[in-house]
Amino acid sequence: MGLEILRNEIEKAGPSTVHKLYEWAAKNPDKKFLYYGEDDRALSFAEFNTATNQIAHFLKSMGIVKGDSISVYLFNPFVTSVVMIGIWKTGAVFCPINFSYKGRLLSYQINDTAPKALITEQSRVSFLNEVKSELPALKVLLRKPKRDEHDHRVDSMELDRKFEQIDFDDMLKGNGANLDTEINYWDTASIMYTSGTTGPAKGVVHSHRWISQYIFPSRLVTHEDDVKYSDLPMYHISGAYAAVARVIWTGSNIAIWDRFSPSDFWNRIHRSGASSASLMDVMMPWLMNAAETSKDRYNSLKWVHMQPLPKYHHKIARRFGFDVVTVGYGSTETGMPIWGCIDELEGEEGTPGELYRGLPKASIFRIFQEYGYPVFTGTEELKKGIMGKAVLFESAILNERDEILGPGGYGQLAFRSKLSFGLMSGYFKKPEATLEAHKNQWFHTGDACYRDENDIYYFIDRMGNFIRVRGENVSTYQIEDILNTHPGVEVSAAFPIPAQEGDEDDIVVYVLLKQEGGLGEDELRNWITAEMPKFMWPKHIRFINAFPQTATNKIEKYKLKEIILKELASN
C-alpha cells in the first residue's frame, strides 16, 4: 500500500484520542465503553465522556493550561483511564508513575517531570510523605476509595501538610460539557519513563500522532462489537494505549482488571465476553500449566497478541481456540513499527460461533495483507524471535558504522518514521540522549536483530547482551532461554565478565531454583553439556535465593556482576 494512502488513513482517523471520544459519545452515547471487573462497574461512552469533561474543567479551574505536566501516581486502572483522558482534554500532558515506585525512584521522576499537580490515592500517601523533603510543595489531588470500592483500606495516614491537598471527588461534581481545547496531532500527549538499569530513567515524550501510529495495526481489525480484555498497568503503553486508547479510537469495548490472575483469567473472559487480549511471556506458561478440560475451547477469545512469541504458540492456540495470533516489535520510543499475524487454525473453527464477536477471521487476514503486514500459518516452522514487517516506518539493520546490512546480517534495529511525529518526540530534558539515539538520521533501538530476504524481522537480544566466546557472538537471551527449560530452574540471568585469558569473555549465570537445594552445580553442568553447544557453556554458575530487580521487575545484572567480580578477586 502506498505511503500517500497510509498517510491519508492516519489523518482521516483524526488528530487525537480526545476527538475520537467526542465522536463516539455523540454517535453511540449509550453503548458500554468500559467495564471494571474489580468493582463490577460499567460506563457508557456518554458517561465516560462526561466524567472526563468534569475532570478537565476542574483542572482548568486550578490554572492548568495546555502543555502543563500532570503526574499520575495511581494503582486503580479504572480511575487512571478517566484521569488520562481528562488531562488530555485540557491539552495537558499525562505523566504516569509506576505505582510500585517509592524513595529515590519516585522523587526522581516527579522532580524530572516538574508537574503542576499530582493525582494519587490513599495507598500511596505514605510513599509521598517519605520523600517530602525531596519534593516541592505540590498540589495533590487525593483519591480516598469509598467503602463499597474494592480498593478501600482503613488507612488514617494524612498527607503531609507540605502538600496542598485537594479532594479528588471534587473533580467529578462540575461541568460535564465538551471542551473546545485545540489539540493537534503534534502536541505532546504523554511522558512515559523507561527503566533505568545503568543510570537514571529517561522520560519518553509522545505526541498524539505517536499514539495513533502505535495502535494503527490493531485498530485496523478492531470492530465496534469487539471487547478488549486488559490487566496491564496504565503507566505502560500496553495498558494505556494498546488497550484503553485503541478502544476509544475504534468505538469498541474494554474490560479491565487490576492485575493478571491465572486462576481467574478464564472467568473474567467469560464475564466480559472479551474477544481479544494480550498475553505476556509469564502469563502463557501459567495458563498452559492448568489441567486440560473438554471446555478449554469454549471461550470468546478469538485474537491474542503474544509478545514475545513462544515456540509453543500453535499448541496454546489449538488448546484454547485462538483464531488469530499477532506478533510485533514494540517499545516506549517507537510504538509498534513491526507487526505480523498468524492464522493458527486455518480452516478449523476456534472460537465457537455463538461467542464470536467482530470481524470474521478471513477479513482480519485479508485486511492485514492489504496493508502489507505478513500472515503466517500456525503449522509452518517460524524462526525464533519472529516479529513481522514494518509498514509505517523505514526499517533497517545497521552495523557499528550505521551502514545497512543485507538479509541475514546481525546488527542494530533502526527506524525512520514515514509520518511526521510518528516516532517519539525525544527524551524529556535530555537533548544529548535524543541526538545520540537519532544519529545519522536513524532511531537506534538498542536491540540486536536481523531480517530475512522477505524483509521479515527477527529479534535476537538487547545490544550489549552479546558475549564474545571462542570467536562466537553468544546471546544472553539464548543462554537464559535454554536454562529456563530445566525443570528445576525458576529463572536465570546470564552476563559476561572479562575472560581470565585473552580479550574475550567468560560467561556467568545466576540461577534461581524452583526448590532451594533441589539442584546441584555438577548436575546442572551435566545437563548444560547435553543441551548447549560448548561455546555457550558458562564458566561460572552461582545459585541465588532472590534476584536484585528494578522497580519494573527487570533483573539488575550489573549488581550480580559486581558480586561475582568481587568474589573472584578475593580468591
Residue 571, amino acid: N
Judge whether 162 and 139 are in contact, CB under 8 Å: no
DSSP H or E run through 115: none
CB crowding 211-222: b at 16 or more within 10 Å, else e: bbbbbbbbbbbb
Angle CA 503–509–512, to nearest 5: 170
**466-570 classified as CATH 3.30.300.30:** yes
> Which contacts (CB < 8 Å, 24+ apart) does range 270-273 have?
270/299, 270/300, 271/37, 272/35, 272/37, 272/227, 272/229, 273/227, 273/300, 273/355, 273/357
User: What pLDDT is recorded for position 198?
Assistant: 41
Question: What is the domain partition of the chain in residue ranges?
Answer: 17-183, 393-462, 466-570
Residue for grid cell 511471556: 281
Residue for grid cell 508513575: 97
- Nearest Cα neighbor of 135 from 103, 171, 158 is 103
Q: How is residue 404 annotated by DSSP?
A: B
Backbone φ and ψ for 427, nearest 5 degrees, come out as -90, 130
Residue 143, CB-side half-sphere exposure with 13 Å CA sphere: 25
On the question of a cis peptide bond just before residue 498, with omega within 30 degrees of 0, the verdict is no
The model carries a pTM of: 0.83
Task: Among 2.40.40.20, 1.10.357.10, 3.40.50.1580, 2.30.38.10, name the CATH number for the domain at 393-462.
Answer: 2.30.38.10
On the question of a cis peptide bond just before residue 548, with omega within 30 degrees of 0, the verdict is no
Q: Could you list the beta-strand ranges (E) of 392-478.
A: 393-398, 411-417, 426-427, 443-451, 457-462, 466-469, 472-475
Domain covering 17-183 in this structure, CATH number: 3.40.50.980
User: What pLDDT is recorded for position 197?
Assistant: 38
Q: Do domains 17-183 and 466-570 have the same CATH topology?
A: no
User: What pLDDT is recorded for position 196?
Assistant: 45
Per-residue pLDDT of the chain (571 residues), as tens digits, is 566 766 777 777 788 999 999 999 999 999 999 999 999 999 999 999 999 999 999 999 999 999 999 999 999 999 999 999 999 999 999 999 988 888 887 899 999 999 999 999 999 999 999 999 999 999 999 999 999 999 998 877 999 999 999 999 999 998 999 999 999 999 999 999 985 434 567 999 999 999 999 999 999 999 999 999 999 999 999 999 999 999 999 999 999 999 999 999 999 999 999 999 999 866 888 899 899 999 999 999 999 999 888 889 999 999 999 999 999 999 999 999 999 999 999 989 999 999 999 999 999 999 999 999 999 999 999 998 999 999 999 999 999 999 999 999 999 999 999 999 999 999 999 999 999 999 999 999 988 999 999 999 999 877 766 677 765 667 787 788 889 989 999 999 999 998 876 667 899 999 999 988 889 999 999 999 888 877 789 999 999 999 998 866 778 988 999 999 999 999 8
- DSSP 3-state of 387: strand
